[in-house]
Amino acid sequence: MRMAIDQARAAGAGGDIPIGAVVVDSGGEVIATGSNSREIDCDPTAHAEILALRAAGKHLDGWRLTDCTIYVTLEPCPMCAGAITMSRISRLVFGAWNDEYGAAGSRWDLVRDQRLNHQVEVIPAIMESDCSALVRDFLAEKRK
C-alpha cells in the first residue's frame, strides 16, 4: 500500500486526484503501477486502476490477471471495479472508503456480485487514514 500511496502522491503533484494502484503477482512481485492521469492525458478512463491493469496485462502478456492482487488507495469506482472483475484479479486491497462512488462494498459491491462469473476477494481499510488524507487534503486545497 505504501507504493500505491507514492503513486497517489505523484498523481496529486501532477494536478490529478491523488489515487494510486499497484498490481502484484502471486509471488508478491510488483508487476505494474498506476496513478490517476485524467487531467494530464485528457482521458476520462485514465484512473490509476485502469492504467495499472493495462500495464499488468502487458507484463504478463495476457488479459487474465488470475492470482494477482491490486492495491488501491481509494475504493474503486464502478468503472474500475468492473475492470478489476473482468481482468480476473483475485484480490483487491484498498485504503479509504469511497462513499460517493465506491463499488467494492460501500455504495455498490460490483466486485462480489454473484451474478457475474468472477468475484474478487476484498480487503478494505488498509492504511485508511493515510489514504483518505491524500484525497481530503487535495480537495481542500483545490477548494481554496
Residue 20 in contact with residue 49, Cβ under 8 Å? no
Q: Which of 29, 39, 49, 141 is catalytic?
A: 49
Chain segment 71-130, per-residue pLDDT in tens: 999 999 999 999 999 999 999 999 999 999 999 999 999 999 999 999 999 999 999 999
Q: Residue 144 — very low, low, confident or very high, per pLDDT cuts 50/70/90?
A: confident
**What pLDDT score was predicted for residue 2?**
98
**Grid cell in block for residue 58:** 502487458
Dihedral sign of CA atoms 8, 113, 78, 27 in order: positive
Catalytic residue check, 49 = yes
Chain segment 94-111, per-residue pLDDT in tens: 999 999 999 999 999 999
**What pLDDT score was predicted for residue 142?**
82
**What pLDDT score was predicted for residue 97?**
98
Separation CA 19–CA 35 (nearest Å): 6
